[in-house]
């Protein structure tokens, strides 16, 4: 007897849908002029989308062709609680919100809210020391991104798009 495990099926469908969405959304990216190494700005998102689609198809086929005997015993599965699933969902939704917030607040300010917010969701602040550590980590991440993208690759990340005054 063959059957599909619900969590694996959801993961496969999620990979397929996100990959398809990214492929569709990247069709309007600017086309490269001339012979550009890497295929322009759509290359990397499309590459990741195709990897996601491939993994989704692979997982789906694995589910279809796997027999009941090949399943692990229930004791070998890791139990995931409702709190962890809710946390994953909240971080996923906040990352979608981040992509829209970047247009108005710029990459660095919006990302700082996202990074600190994600860390607070994962481990709430219990002491002032925790907040200081979160701020140091956030500044370190954003500084690293600045060095890599703006100084090494000469990629200007989105800036604040409305005046503060």
* Long-range Cβ contacts of 20-24 (<8 Å, 24+ apart): 20/49, 20/53, 21/49, 22/46, 22/48, 22/49, 22/52, 23/49, 23/50, 23/53
Same domain, yes or no: 63 and 86? no
Task: Return the pLDDT at 138.
Answer: 97
User: How far is CA 135 from its chain centroid?
Assistant: 21
Residue after which a domain boundary falls, among 17, 51, 70: 70
Using 50, 70 and 90 to split pLDDT, how confident is the model at 39? low
For residues 80 and 123, what is the distance between their CA atoms, to the nearest angstrom?
A: 17
pTM of the model: 0.63
Residue 36 has pLDDT above 50, yes or no: yes
Same domain, yes or no: 147 and 123? yes
For residues 143 and 118, what is the distance between their CA atoms, to the nearest angstrom?
A: 18
């Amino acid at each position: 007897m063959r059957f599909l495990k619900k969590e694996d099926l959801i993961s496969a469908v999620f990979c397929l849908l996100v990959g398809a969405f990214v492929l569709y959304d990247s069709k309007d990216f600017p086309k490269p002029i001339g012979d550009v190494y890497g295929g322009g700005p759509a290359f990397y998102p499309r590459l990741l989308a195709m990897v996601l689609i491939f993994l989704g198809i692979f997982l789906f086929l694995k589910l279809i062709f796997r027999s009941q005997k090949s399943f692990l015993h229930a004791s070998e599965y890791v139990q995931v609680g409702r709190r962890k699933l809710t946390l994953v969902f909240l971080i996923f939704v906040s990352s979608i919100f981040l992509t829209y917030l970047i247009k108005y607040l710029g990459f660095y300010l919006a990302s700082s809210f996202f990074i600190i917010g994600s860390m607070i969701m994962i481990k709430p602040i219990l002491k002032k020391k925790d907040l200081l550590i979160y701020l140091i980590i956030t500044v370190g991440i954003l500084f690293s991104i600045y060095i890599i993208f703006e100084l090494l690759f000469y990629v200007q990340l989105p800036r604040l798009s409305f005046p503060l005054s």
